[in-house]
Chains A and B, each alone.
Chain A
Amino acid sequence: MSNLRTGAGKRSVQWTLLILAVLLSCLPVLVLVVSSFKLESQIFTFRPVVLFRPHISAYLFLVDKFPQFFRTLLNSTIVTLGACAAVLAISIPAAYSYSRLFSRRRARSSYYLIAVRMFPPIIILIPLYPALRAIGLLDTYISLIVVYAAFQVSLSTMILKSFLDGVPRELDEQTYIDGCTRLQSFWYVTLPALAPGIISSAIFVAVFAWNDFDFAFLLTGRHTKTAAIMISEMQGMVQEGALNYGDLFAAATIHVIPILIFVFAVQKWMVKGFTVGAVKG
């Protein structure tokens, strides 16, 4: 009987800790989302307003008076999709090569990928910024996409290689017997089997590109400014009194929701990628 009681006691402690940890992770984000539906007067009180009728006035304001935000959201979408495409186009062949065409010399070349992953992004901006400026590539999509790709191809190659190692070679060999070329066999057999790996590495690129502050802060300008940078500027405007808190919260909510849904949807593959990325690669 007493055993049962301590067992139940232990269980409730575990539940309490879990709930507290979940609240700590989610409550700050939830407060942001909820507050974006408040009126400014409901935000601007010291005593928090918990129950209120939701208003969408902040969102209407963004649409009516602050359309530049949506332009930056479009920019974020373009560079995120561009970076995903670029990284996959570069790292799928590389991963295939490391997984299927093994030679010691080829394997040694991966030291280059490993070493480069250790470079802090910010130190590359010091030489890159004046160089891009000199050749007129500041504030272009292409420079941002290429820089994102360079910092993500290494992880992506490692994730894809590890997934490819799990796709049985017999599958390819079977198709050679059927008279397929290597390319055909790759396209029709290996690539579909690699789908989870592709999703897994695309998540990392997408989250990185969508959320990036360090690079976009310096490499974008009037034409290519991403939403992450815009939100940071809007925060400055709020502090100067040129913008309402509610409008800032609405913009931040719009920025967070798509990536949050994406991460939720693909969580299974994400965890696998982390394991490969941090422990293996």
Chain B
Amino acid sequence: MEATEANLKALMIAALDGDSAAYRVLLEMLQTRLQLFFQRRLSRELDAVDDLVQETMLAIHTRRGTYDRSLMFTAWSFAIARYKLVDHFRRNGRKPTMSLDEAGFLFVNDESASVDARHDIDRAIGRLPAATQALIRDIKLRELSISEVAKARGASEAAVRVALHRAMKKLGSQFKGNRVEK
């Protein structure tokens, strides 16, 4: 950590004196650090990460005159990244700290997430064999009891239970597959 600070700081000071090769190295080191910084804080909107990395690097570049050699370089660049992150939240109507007003926003967000999830489940169920589909819909979505389903199909409760267990396992594996695809 301290070695990084000393490294980056030396590169920055060289860059401020006009050394463009040192500056190029510095920018590359910064780029990976900034990517990590934003990825960690924007896990729900990863598509915004690249833009923010680029914006932050541009700000670091155009405002590099505000770096003072007595400041820690990591603190200085981190403060710019944090400013850009807060600015991003602000522009999207969200603040990093939560207030009462924002509780409403959270609910809206959660609701849309659960609607999304329902669509995903419907799609996944659609890929199962027809008999299994009906089984899952009856029990998990319409919330019929196992004995009701067994009676309706003329099967034993144990058989329904086993079939259901297998169906849920299959469904679960689909979601795992989905996540890897993404």
Partners in one complex: no
